[in-house]
Amino acid sequence: MARALLSAIVEQLGPFISSEFTLTATVKQEVQKLETKFRTIQAVLNDAEKRQLKEEAVKLWLDKLKGISYEMDDVLDEWNTAMIKEEIEKQQREDENAETSTTKKRKVWSLISVPNLFQHRDIAHKIKELNEKLDEINKEREMYGFELSRAIEVVERPKTTSYVDVSDILGRDKVKDDLVSIILGKGTEQEKCPHVISLVGMGGMGKTTLAQLAFNHHEVKDHFEERIWVCVSEPFDQCRVAKAIIEALGVRDLNTTELQSLLGKFCELIGGKKFFLVFDDVWTEEYALWKPFRDALKNCGSQSSRILVTTRKGKVAKMMESANTIKLEELSEEDCWLVFSKIAFSDKDPMQCEQLEVLGRQISKKCKGLPLAAKTLGSLMHFKKSKEEWKNILDSNFWELEDVERGLFAPLLLSYFDLPSPLKRCFSYCAVFPKCHDFNVNELVHMWTSHGFVESKGNMEVEIMAREYFDNLVIRSFFQKYIYKYKMHDIVHDFAQSITKNECFIISSDIESKSNYNKARHLRLVIPEETQFPVSIDSAKNLRTLIFFNQGGYNISNLFQNFRLLRVLTLECRMELPHTLENLIHLRYLNLFKCNEVLPETICNLCNLQYLKITQASGSTFTKLPQGIGKLINLRHLIGENFLIPRGIGRLTSLRALKCFSISDDDSEGCKLGELKNLNHLQGSIEIRGLGNMVDVSEAENAQLKKKIHLREMLLSFKKGKDRGWQDYCVPNAVEPNDRRMERDVLVLNALEPHQELEQLVVNWYKGTTMSPNWLMFLTKLKTVSICWATKLTSLPPLGKLPFLESLNIWHVCSLKKVGVEFLGIEAENKKEDIKIFPNLKYLSFVSLEEWEEWIGIGGKENADCITVMPRLRQLEIRGCGKLKSLPDFLRTVPLNKLEIAGCPIIEERCQRETGEDWYTISHIPIIDLREHDIWEDFCRLRLPAPFTK
């Protein structure tokens, strides 16, 4: 931790010295002295961090060093902030010279002071003080006789492997089979209900892995109607657990927080079904906490339902009245070796494995039969090539430490100290998250980046580098994948908290703690409703992370007075944000939950902000972004939906992510499409809304989408802001748009030329009668195309020419009457050569084409024998196409696995087994599903605005 922190400081000091704003020679000299001292201390930190585990004096020395390093980081950041504000003010002056300033603009762009004489003196004074403190620490360093560290560390790109999956079941086959057999066993009238099965074993024994294997077993999936996984952990929060059960059944945004109401909702959802419920990591022995769940589960599920509990404590299994208890024992020495060697020797040649086997078996004995220890050590040794490296691990003095859970911390310490410094900081930071936390990788990456944990590497995007850090930690077994999510094993979490003691805290009650928060840097705070805010938290003046779920009505304006050093803030704010938010000048990451519809204008003074994420409060329609948004010149990600975007966003040239861009129909203040012109770093996906509001087609050309070379997914929505709603789009012969609108949509679409690397394209609410933009056939990388709500479209573009198209959706194209060879992309004069139409298409869907009558095949077409249509199509859906008269002839040769037809009475009649006229065309298809049409299901699957609320 200290080494990584100092590395970050040293990296900043060089640019600071050469800064044009550092005007005095005295300041420059003081900084140069600091840099020299930091580099001297940096060389011994590896040894110091290891010795602190046994030597309290060394630990105290490191604590003082970290304190000074944090102070230095704050000073440097304060100075850099002043320079950024000067850059913003310079841009403001240029803008005001370029066009006439209005009173409104002067109000938006508040005056920002540049680094002045007072700031220079203040900075100089702080640096001199830090130099004196560092002198004292440097003298103490000499007393301890630390060893010099190795050369500069490099974070290598992780190599993908499959060894973790392979090792999951080694040594546990019989236990797994027995567990699955018990879960599938038939219930009797006499047995206890609910039927509880308990997996009991110490930490790191593999309880959760076994439960996961059983949960995903194909027979278990087929046997139960509902499967539910809930991580319980400690403390046993009844309402949280009840909510987790309900959310696992697909219901979110619950209004109630009462336990009985939640359990009643669960019983309503389960409705006598046969369910399999896993309670993972249960600690509580209090029967009173379990009883409400027991009573609810007893009454609402079928007799054949099963509950699986994983716990470290045998008393928990007894308290929950388990019908079956399986006690996990340590792996045998040979099984432990198999787990270890599968990972450690992955990708090594046989001769190297033979040379290292003796040492490897000695190391694997250190695991004491614990699967987690074997996986952790195996992951560590996977990166060690020489005998000397293996011998060093075997002889490490970490094995002599008194560890929690019979030696698990020793393998973790060995693996942790083998990490490069940036990865150490990234891993230890995760101690601020609770046990059983489902890690959102993007969220973690953005937080790491905001704290400066991620080193720059050439032209590589910092988020990509951070993602590589995460992959490295996964490969080294610090993270594990559970049911499609990444989690940290609770023993690993305990370890992370042990190495961040006094720095990372998690508080989930209003009980006053005796802990000293003066050194706290990262805090997760959950204040339940009707409870008091712990006053002791106000002493945490040095916080850099605050994750605050404010359920108790705390006045959040106090936060912005007390915690001015924050870099990362996640805030549930059910009230209006105060203007004092601008005090957080160091802030890089702001995540707002249940945000109000209007954000304060002062948020635009957070000039270091890189990530702004907004989740709206229930019932909100739009979040209005501040008029001065263009001042956030360092913003990289603006994440959220339904933003009202003001003018000026085009200045944010650092933007990498802008999920939704809404074009205003208000000429005075609203954002226009041309604002996208200079946002050429945009990546991933973008949804452009309000294209129907376009008046000047040149705006579409000004957007220069072709230069957005990193965009892979694009949704173009032509819905006009003042359109009446879904009736204008779905009902045939509804209010006709004027010819001008239809013509403009065609011209606008032609002008919106994306880059050729685009992989997914969605066009909806389009009003043109034709859709064949000049650029479409040049998008040869397209894999998915969706055309939706294009209710005036009378013909489809020649999509059959797209070589890599895999998925195609045509939804609610209400005026389309015929689909013919133009859709397939067959030219009028076909040459005598083999042609593949839709060569890679796997999924094709037609939904709610009310006027569609003809789907013409290639029968009778000249040279039809040379044409192959959809040779890889696996699934075809036709729903809500009531006038369609027949299926095309080429379906006879298409290798479909499934054909689904609903709401198409003519086709359904023609597809009747043996008797239907089209039966011979589809008889080779294994699954033919003729079902009743459910229009609401169509809207739920579309990921577009539904026409009504169910």
The pLDDT of residue 724 is above 70: no
> Which of 32-41, 336-345, 533-542 is predicted with the least confidence, judged by mean pLDDT?
32-41
Q: Which helix (H) or strand (E) holds 208?
A: helix 207-215
* pLDDT more than 90, % of the chain: 40
Report residue 781 CA to chain centroid gap.
25
Give 148's contacts (C-beta < 8 A, 6+ positions apart).
43, 44, 47
Asked if residue 830 lies in contact with residue 863, where contact means CB atoms within 8 angstroms, the answer is: yes
> Which of 186-195, 337-346, 415-424, 551-560 is predicted with the least confidence, judged by mean pLDDT?
186-195
Q: Which helix (H) or strand (E) holds 854?
A: strand 854-855
Dihedral angle sign, alpha carbons of residues 735, 738, 744, 746 = positive
Q: Which residue blocks in 703-738 are alpha helix, DSSP H?
A: 727-730
- Give residue 430's pLDDT: 96
Asked if residue 719 lies in contact with residue 690, where contact means CB atoms within 8 angstroms, the answer is: yes
The pLDDT of residue 849 is above 50: yes
Of the candidates 274, 308, 331, 320, the residue with the CA atom closest to the CA atom of residue 181: 308
Query: How many CB atoms neighbour CB 450 within 10 A?
Result: 25
- Separation between Cα atoms, residue 532 and residue 508, nearest integer Å: 12
Query: How many CB atoms neighbour CB 593 within 10 A?
Result: 17
> Which of 13-27, 370-384, 619-633, 676-690 is predicted with the least confidence, judged by mean pLDDT?
13-27
- Separation between Cα atoms, residue 444 and residue 430, nearest integer Å: 8
- Give residue 18's pLDDT: 60
The pLDDT of residue 905 is above 90: yes
- Separation between Cα atoms, residue 548 and residue 526, nearest integer Å: 6
Please write down the HEC assignment for all residues of 810-824: EECCCCCCEECHHHH
Structure tokens, 202: 């110490």
DSSP one-letter string for 773-820: -TTGGG-TT--EEEEES-TT--S---GGG-TT--EEEEE--TT--EE-
Asked if residue 891 lies in contact with residue 860, where contact means CB atoms within 8 angstroms, the answer is: no
Report residue 809 CA to chain centroid gap.
26
Count Cβ atoms within 10 A of the Cβ of residue 8 and give its class: 0-12 exposed, 13-18 middle, 19 or more buried.
buried
What three-state secondary structure class fits 379? helix
What three-state secondary structure class fits 559? helix
Asked if residue 812 lies in contact with residue 848, where contact means CB atoms within 8 angstroms, the answer is: yes
Q: 196-200 and 306-311 as β-strands: parallel, antiparallel, unpaired?
A: parallel
- Give residue 727's pLDDT: 43
**Cα separations in angstroms, 822 against 797, 798, 817, 819, 827:** 7, 5, 13, 8, 8
- Give residue 709's pLDDT: 95
- Separation between Cα atoms, residue 51 and residue 45, nearest integer Å: 10
**Confidence band of 93 (pLDDT split at 50, 70, 90):** confident
Query: How many CB atoms neighbour CB 135 within 10 A?
Result: 12
- Give residue 144's pLDDT: 82
- Give residue 39's pLDDT: 77
Structure tokens, 558: 């106090």
Give 937's contacts (C-beta < 8 A, 6+ positions apart).
none
Mean pLDDT of 912-929: 92
Structure tokens, 260: 């009985």
Q: Which helix (H) or strand (E) holds 569?
A: strand 568-572
- Give residue 472's pLDDT: 92
Asked if residue 819 lies in contact with residue 852, where contact means CB atoms within 8 angstroms, the answer is: yes
Per-residue pLDDT tens digits for 263-309: 888 888 888 888 999 999 999 889 999 988 888 888 787 888 899 99
- Separation between Cα atoms, residue 706 and residue 698, nearest integer Å: 15
- Separation between Cα atoms, residue 263 and residue 299, nearest integer Å: 11
Per-residue pLDDT tens digits for 729-765: 444 434 445 678 888 999 999 999 999 999 999 999 9
> What average pLDDT does the structure give for the chain?
83
DSSP one-letter string for 735-778: SPPPHHHHHHHHHHHHH----TT--EEEEES---S----TTGGG
**Confidence band of 524 (pLDDT split at 50, 70, 90):** very high
What three-state secondary structure class fits 624? strand
**Cα separations in angstroms, 269 against 272, 273, 666, 704:** 9, 9, 46, 50
The pLDDT of residue 602 is above 80: yes
DSSP one-letter string for 253-301: ------HHHHHHHHHHHHTT--EEEEEEEE----HHHHHHHHHHHHHHS
**Confidence band of 726 (pLDDT split at 50, 70, 90):** very low
Mean pLDDT of 86-115: 58
Structure tokens, 141: 């360093």
Amino acid letter, residue 195: H
- Separation between Cα atoms, residue 462 and residue 157, nearest integer Å: 14
Query: How many CB atoms neighbour CB 713 within 10 A?
Result: 17
- Give residue 869's pLDDT: 94
The pLDDT of residue 47 is above 90: no
The pLDDT of residue 513 is above 70: no
Asked if residue 142 lies in contact with residue 44, where contact means CB atoms within 8 angstroms, the answer is: no
Query: How many CB atoms neighbour CB 929 within 10 A?
Result: 11
Bridge partners, 838 (sequence order): none
- Give residue 109's pLDDT: 42
Asked if residue 573 lies in contact with residue 593, where contact means CB atoms within 8 angstroms, the answer is: yes
Angle formed at CA 351 by CA 348 and CA 357, multiple of 5 degrees: 80
Mean pLDDT of 488-517: 82
Report the range out of 217-221, 428-432, 473-477 with the highest average pLDDT. 428-432
Per-residue pLDDT tens digits for 821-848: 899 988 755 555 678 999 999 999 999 9
- Give residue 403's pLDDT: 53
Per-residue pLDDT tens digits for 201-259: 888 888 888 898 889 888 999 899 889 999 888 888 888 898 888 888 888 767 677 88
Query: How many CB atoms neighbour CB 203 within 10 A?
Result: 18
Of the candidates 744, 794, 783, 792, the residue with the CA atom closest to the CA atom of residue 765: 792
Bridge partners, 760 (sequence order): 713, 784
Of the candidates 789, 730, 834, the residue with the CA atom closest to the CA atom of residue 942: 789
- Give residue 948's pLDDT: 32
Q: What is the CA radius of gyration of the chain?
A: 32
- Separation between Cα atoms, residue 379 and residue 474, nearest integer Å: 9
DSSP one-letter string for 498-525: HTTTTTEEEE-SSSPP----TT--EEEE
- Separation between Cα atoms, residue 866 and residue 835, nearest integer Å: 6
Torsion of CA 260, 264, 267, 269, to 10 degrees: -130
Of the candidates 239, 304, 248, the residue with the CA atom closest to the CA atom of residue 278: 248
Report residue 577 CA to chain centroid gap.
25
- Separation between Cα atoms, residue 12 and residue 32, nearest integer Å: 12
Q: 485-487 and 480-482 as β-strands: parallel, antiparallel, unpaired?
A: antiparallel
> Which of 459-473, 638-652, 665-679 is predicted with the least confidence, judged by mean pLDDT?
665-679
Asked if residue 68 lies in contact with residue 137, where contact means CB atoms within 8 angstroms, the answer is: yes
**Confidence band of 102 (pLDDT split at 50, 70, 90):** very low
Asked if residue 393 lies in contact with residue 414, where contact means CB atoms within 8 angstroms, the answer is: yes
Asked if residue 270 lies in contact with residue 226, where contact means CB atoms within 8 angstroms, the answer is: yes
Torsion of CA 717, 720, 726, 731, to 10 degrees: -100
- Separation between Cα atoms, residue 474 and residue 488, nearest integer Å: 10
Q: Which helix (H) or strand (E) holds 107?
A: helix 103-108
The pLDDT of residue 584 is above 70: yes
